Structures are given as structure tokens and as C-alpha cells.
């Protein structure tokens, strides 16, 4: 009888060990699943952010194309007012330099403007 009781205790211990082992595997698997889900969420968030940045850059490029004509016409009128008109490389160079100067001033102004609280 004592052997039978000992066998039941050992069987119960074996079952408890198997339950604990199984529970540990489930916890480990759940931890891995949670990490995987978290990683997928991070990747999804980053992809959405990159798509948003690309769309915003496209809008910015479109705005730049529209303003290009405005700036070019303004620089052409400024050069005509200064009586520096003509055809040739020198006049194209002067137009490019004046346009660059105006754009750099605009970049500095709007960079400082965007930093204000």
C-alpha cells in the first residue's frame, strides 16, 4: 500500500512538473508574441510616418514649383529695373545669383520664424 501511495505522489509530482513546464512555455510564448506584436506596431507606425513625410515633401515640392515662377518673374523685373538686361551667360548668372540671395534670405527668415515659440 505504501508503494501505491508513493507512486501516486510521484505521479502527481510528475503531473505538477509537467503543468509548471507547460505554463512556463505558454508564458515564454506569450512574451515572444507580445514582443512580436509590439515590433509589428512599431514598424507600422514608422511606415505611416515615412509615408506622411513623403506626401508632405511632395506638397512642398509642388509649392516650390508654383513659387519658382513668382520668384523668377520678380528677379527678372528687379534686373530690368537695374538696367542689367540682355542675353547671354553673364545675365543668366546674375539672375541665378540674385535668386540665390533672395532664397537664402527667405530660408534664414523662415528658419528663425519657425523656431519661435
94 closest CA partner among 85, 103, 106 = 85
User: Model pTM greater than 0.85?
Assistant: no
* Residue of higher predicted confidence among 63 and 92: 63
State which residues form the domain around 56: 2-115
Within 8 A by CB and 6+ apart from 102, the residues are: 71, 74, 75
Considering the chain, what is the average pLDDT of its residues?
A: 78
Distance CA 56, CA 17 (A): 58
**pLDDT, tens digit (0-9, with 9 covering 90-100), for 14-55:** 666 666 677 677 766 777 677 777 888 888 888 988 998 898
Count: domains in the chain: 1
Instruction: Give the CA distances from residue 109 to residues 6, 21, 22, 61, 90, in Å, rounded to whole numbers and listed in that order.
Output: 87, 66, 65, 19, 29
Amino acid at each position: 500500500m505504501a508503494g501505491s501511495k508513493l507512486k501516486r505522489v510521484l505521479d502527481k509530482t510528475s503531473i505538477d512538473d509537467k503543468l509548471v513546464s507547460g505554463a512556463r512555455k505558454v508564458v515564454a510564448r506569450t512574451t515572444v508574441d507580445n514582443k512580436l506584436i509590439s515590433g509589428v506596431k512599431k514598424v507600422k507606425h514608422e511606415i505611416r510616418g515615412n509615408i506622411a513625410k513623403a506626401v508632405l515633401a511632395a506638397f512642398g515640392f509642388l509649392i516650390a514649383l508654383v513659387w519658382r515662377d513668382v520668384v523668377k518673374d520678380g528677379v527678372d523685373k528687379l534686373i530690368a529695373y537695374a538696367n542689367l538686361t540682355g542675353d547671354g551667360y553673364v545675365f543668366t548668372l546674375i539672375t541665378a545669383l540674385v535668386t540665390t540671395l533672395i532664397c537664402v534670405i527667405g530660408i534664414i527668415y523662415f528658419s528663425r520664424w519657425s523656431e519661435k515659440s
